[in-house]
Chains A and B, each alone.
Chain A
Amino acid sequence: EVQLLESGGGLVQPGGSLRLSCAASGFTFSRYAMTWVRQAPGKGLEWVSGLSGSGVSTYHADSVKGRFTISRDNSKNTLYLQMYSLRVDDTAVYYCAKLKNGGDYGSDVFDIWGQGTMVTVSS
C-alpha cells in the first residue's frame, strides 16, 4: 500500500525551529517529486515547498523562502521540511504529498497525501 506518514509537529515559540519528516512506503520513492502543503486552522490549502526525485531541484513559496528548507534522503525513503524563524502565521497542519507522475518536479498533481502533522507557533 502506498503510504506517507508525517511526524515532527508540535508547539514552538515564535522565532523557533522545527523539522518535519515524511516517511514513504509502497512506491519507489526516489522516482517521484514530493511536496509540502499546509492548511491553517479553518483555512484553505497553501503549497509550501517541493523538490525533484533526486533532491537537486527545490522550490519554495515566497511566504517561506529563506526560512524553510525542503530535502530528502532517498536511502531512507524520507522527506524533510526544516523550518526556521517560525512565525505565528506558520501555524497549520502540514501535509506531505507525492506528485502523480515520475520524473522532475513540474506541472503535476498530488495523488498521495499523508495524514498531516500539526505545527503550532505560539508564545
Chain B
Amino acid sequence: DIQMTQSPSTLSASVGDRVTITCRASQSISSWLAWYQQKPGKAPKLLIYDASSLESGVPSRFSGSGSGTEFTLTISSLQPDDFATYHCQQYNSYLFTFGPGTKVDIK
C-alpha cells in the first residue's frame, strides 16, 4: 500500500499568515493527490484534486502543487474560517490512503 505522511502535524498561525503544509507519498502517485479540510465534528470537505485543481466553490487563497512524491497545500492569507485539520489523500491506487492530518490552530 502507498503510505502518506504530512508535516507538520500541528501548525500555529495567525490570521493573514501564509501557511504551507507538505504531504509525501511512499511512491510516485503522479498528480493523483487531493486535499480535504475537516472541522471538529464535521465531515471532510474536498478542497483540491489532481494536486492543483481547485474544487468548485473553494476560495482562491487555497492552492496546491507538486507531483510524484511531494506535494504542498498553501493558504495564501489565513482566514478565521480556515482553522481546521487538513488531510491529503492519494488516489493513484483504488486502495485509497490518507495522510495523518495537519491541524492548523490559532497562534
A-to-B contact residues, CB < 8 Å: 35, 44-47, 50, 59, 61-62, 95, 100, 105-111, 113-116
Contacts and interface: CB of A to CB of B under 8 A. Distances in A.
A44 B55 contact: no
Interface in B60-96: 87, 89, 91-96
B46 A110 contact: yes
Given A44-B87, A113-B43, A113-B45, A107 B101 contact: no
B97 A109 contact: no
28 contacts: A35-B96, A44-B87, A44-B101, A45-B44, A45-B89, A45-B98, A45-B101, A46-B98, A47-B95, A50-B96, A59-B95, A95-B43, A100-B46, A105-B94, A106-B94, A107-B92, A107-B94, A108-B91, A109-B91, A110-B34, A110-B36, A110-B44, A110-B89, A111-B46, A113-B44, A113-B45, A114-B43, A115-B43
Interface string B26-63: 00000010101000001111100100000100000000
Contacts of A45: 36, 44, 87, 89, 98, 101
- Sort A-B residue pairs by CB-CB distance and give the 6 closest, nearest first: A113-B43, A47-B96, A45-B98, A109-B34, A109-B49, A44-B100
Chain B's interface size range is 20 to 34
Contacts of A61: 95
A111 B50 CA distance: 13
A44 B98 contact: yes
A83 to B, nearest CB: 19
Contacts of A35: 96
Contacts of B42: 115
Contact of B99 (A44, A100, A109, A114): A44
A51 B73 CA distance: 29
Contact of B49 (A100, A105, A114): A100
A116 B42 CA distance: 8
Nearest to B100: A44
Given A45-B87, A45-B89, A107 B32 contact: yes
Contacts of B49: 100, 109
Contacts of A109: 34, 46, 49, 89, 91
